[in-house]
Amino acid sequence: MHEMALMGDILQLVERDAASREINQIEKIELVVGDLSNALPDALEMAFTVFRARGIGRLSSNAQLIILKEHAKAKCTVCAHEYEPEARLTICPECQLPSGRLIAGETFKVQSYEGS
């Protein structure tokens, strides 16, 4: 489950930022996870729970993880049609050419976090 490693990286990143801002308790972390980002929200939640239970760093024992899902969206470079693709590479449903370019859905980032 590579979400364990992803979550570890996220917590390290937030921890470092919190340290630089003298935030002692991290209460909430908001992530944006794209449909095609290769990270599964359920597995991320589970990884977060495991880390939280271990009591690492400044993470509060009541800290919350909020996952904002970003739906995949593609735009055809030939006919400009926009649609929801199921994979990175897709055939445009309008002109049937393999010209769909992904414009959303690959995001994986920390949107914000809160602490005190």
Rule CB under 5 A: say whether 74 interacts with Zn ion: no
Using the contact rule CB under 5 A, the part of the chain among 7-15, 25-33, 43-51, 72-80 near Zn ion is: 72-80
Place of tokens 């809160």: 114
Determine which residue in the list 28, 69, 81, 88 makes contact with Zn ion, applying CB under 5 A. Answer: 81
- Classify 102 as helix, strand or coil: strand
The minimum distance between CB 89 and Zn ion, in angstroms, equals: 14
Rule CB under 5 A: say whether 94 interacts with Zn ion: yes
CA distance 19 to 99: 45
Rule CB under 5 A: say whether 95 interacts with Zn ion: yes
**By the criterion CB under 5 A, which residues form the site for Zn ion?**
76, 78-79, 81, 92, 94-95
